[in-house]
Structure 1
């Protein structure tokens, strides 16, 4: 059994005068949302034995703020392919994860993360969590999926079960709704 948790970066500052999208930092609301999600991870006692993340500035700042709330150091492997990746590219990255890692956190961007969840989790009439993902995958949102596989190369379309979908606004009403 493997657990794959996807985290979309927190809300970034579109009004920041950076020249490249890659360099866009978080805004104040994004930092607050990420810290709130980090505290929730701590309260749930969630732990990860492998973290892989996009090297974009907003992802690094999201992880810094998550750490502040979580109270544990996160040591991601920075993976350039995750930056603005499609679901298919993210699946390639997942297939290459270390076999001995059972609980993986992947931190990246939309629409790839949302599309990946919808690709991996089969449609079921009574699946309220999947329906929420179909509506929107907001910034700083976490989706946890379990997979009945021995190794990450076994991750396939429709093979996951969505067990958690946590949006910042579910934890603090002042953190939503957002326009992204």
Structure 2
């Protein structure tokens, strides 16, 4: 893997009759997810594999964003639903040999915690750590370049508000 994109699902409805796992994207979330797909693709950030939580809102985020990526292997996993940073890291590591560019779409706080862990491990600058300390908004993506030893380093930060 040469690149890793950690993305939080886009803005979801407050509730759903079937419970949290069935919460759908709001109208804003649908627009934001599509905008993030366009923005990632425009920057050459096109995954060849996507790991997506089984929750409805993460699957919808993928559906909206993926229109801009072309052919991508998609793995939907219920294990990624509200997963901890540790679980997300293991999922990334289990797939790192299979993808040049891996996209993970999951939930907070796990996505945010994993991004911060990668920043700390790569000795990111204080300004980058400050940027991430404010949280990981819905629809946002943290992009990491991964070196030959498998160590990620911060490449960029995209939020739907920018598009």
5+ residue gaps, structure 1: 172-180
Listed one character per residue, the Cα deviations across residues 137-173 of structure 1 (whole Å, up to 9, x for unaligned) are 00000111122235xxx5xxxx4211011011122xx
Misfit runs of 4+, over 6 Å = none
5+ residue gaps, structure 2: none
TM-score, with length taken from structure 2:
0.89
8 A Cα contact 2:30 2:61, kept in partner = yes
Following TM superposition, by how much is the alpha carbon of 1:17 offset from its aligned partner in structure 2, in angstroms? 3.7
SS in 2 for 1:4: strand
SS in 1 for 2:120: coil
8 A Cα contact 1:129 1:165, kept in partner = no
8 A Cα contact 1:122 1:160, kept in partner = no
Identify which of 91, 94, 98 aligns with 1:93: 91
Change (3 A) 1:58 1:40: same
Matches for 1:21-40 after TM superposition, within 5 Å: 21-40=20-39
Once superposed, what is the RMSD of the aligned Cα atoms?
2.0
8 A Cα contact 2:83 2:107, kept in partner = yes
Following TM superposition, by how much is the alpha carbon of 1:75 offset from its aligned partner in structure 2, in angstroms? 4.0
Matched residues in 1 for 2:120 and 2:133: separation?
Answer: 12
Partner of 2:81: 83
Matched residues in 2 for 1:79 and 1:44: separation?
Answer: 27
* Count of aligned pairs: 162
Q: Which has the larger radius of gyration?
A: 1
